[in-house]
Structure 1
């Protein structure tokens, strides 16, 4: 695969929703340690709402698909995760445009715009113990792979692997953003739930691209 199309992205969202439902208790367990214990429920509810919306009226273009996903997440998910994930998909859609497929560079630009939206909204930095700690290295790995001539499936898999590494690296960190930051030093020793769900996002993307 050299390009990613609307059908593959719909498959991605389906896979992400299925994994969010499957991992609901795990994400909640992670969030109960350093947050409000609602990340699993929020992600499962929000992604299910996205699937209900796009299945009822399948979007024809990538921007329509991703904007629909983003707006649905913003409106159906409480806490920080809805606005952050919603912004991610909205910015992706705005950058992708009214097309039915993107090449590896174009898709990378859309992903990068999504991350920039998260940064604009939440102001995260590396080491804050947030979803940024999984997403930023994932996109760096993706961009490096594409620049090196790697094909799209391998580039997305590299992103997923980097996200997992970033996720795991959040465990010893002291949170500096979000609800977890209220715990101070007690937030250390726990995996960040946002980084965990972000890794699921990229792992399901890799699976969808691989077919």
Structure 2
């Protein structure tokens, strides 16, 4: 079954809920190695996204992702706003009115590549790339093996969750956490964790399709 605009809107609704639910958790993670505002920023950003989508009718996935991107860039502080905004812009460029498994994998790959380019980051530096990059690989592998859209998103969400967990023992070499050096080890990266929640929301939205 192809995914369409209804899936995008459900995904956004569930992402907004996830930002609200995990606000304090993400803020606590960021307090340990960052500026202690990631949860608050993400919650504020997706609340603004919800308001923006309710005020202006969205014709298709591309327009919806573009609206989300512009809103996150303007409302989310720190590095997360530009990075997530870029991810959603790339989703907009790759989106189609009806998306099959290969299209979904291509979208996740585009988002991951956008984050890496904007942040000039690679895997292993303790950033959200450590969730998005493995998610992209897993999605591509699932699509190539014949999985449907839900299967692709299951693979991506699982890989993102594992990738986020793997940041626990990493030493940050990029962003605010890098100032701590070796002391950044032993803490999960908040951007990677929140990214895993966003991809889990995408899966849950597809499960309801």
- Provide the residue aligned with 1:20 in structure 2: 19
Q: Which runs of 5+ in 2 are unaligned?
A: none
| Residue 5 (structure 1) aligns with | 4
Whether 1:113 and 2:110 are equivalent positions in the alignment is yes
Instruction: Measure the CA separation in 1 of the matches of 2:80 and 2:57.
Output: 24
Asked whether 1:198 is paired with 2:202, we answer: no
Map of 2:162 onto structure 1: 165
Q: Where in structure 2 are the equivalents of 1:77-96 lying within 5 Å?
A: 77-96=76-95
Match of 2:132 in 1: 135
Task: Look up the SS of the partner of 1:12 in the other structure.
Answer: helix
Q: 1:100 offset after TM fit, Å?
A: 2.1
**Equivalent-residue separation in structure 1 for 2:147 and 2:104 (angstroms):** 14
For the aligned residues, what is the CA RMSD? 0.9
What is the TM-score with the length of structure 1 in the denominator? 0.96
1:111, 1:159 → 2: CA distance?
8
Segments of structure 1 that go 5 or more residues without pairing to the other structure are none
Give the number of aligned pairs: 208
Q: Corresponding residue for 2:71?
A: 72
Distance in 2, Cα, partners of 1:61 & 1:67: 10
| Aligned-residue offset at 1:22 | 0.8
**Once the 2 structures are TM-superposed, how far is the Cα of residue 44 of structure 1 from its aligned partner?**
0.1
Structure 2 match to 1:61: 60
CA-CA distance at 1:27 after TM superposition: 0.1
* TM-score, normalisation: structure 2: 0.97
CA drift at 1:133:
0.4
After TM superposition, give the deviation of residue 210 of structure 1 in Å. 0.3
Q: Displacement of 1:47 after TM fit?
A: 0.6
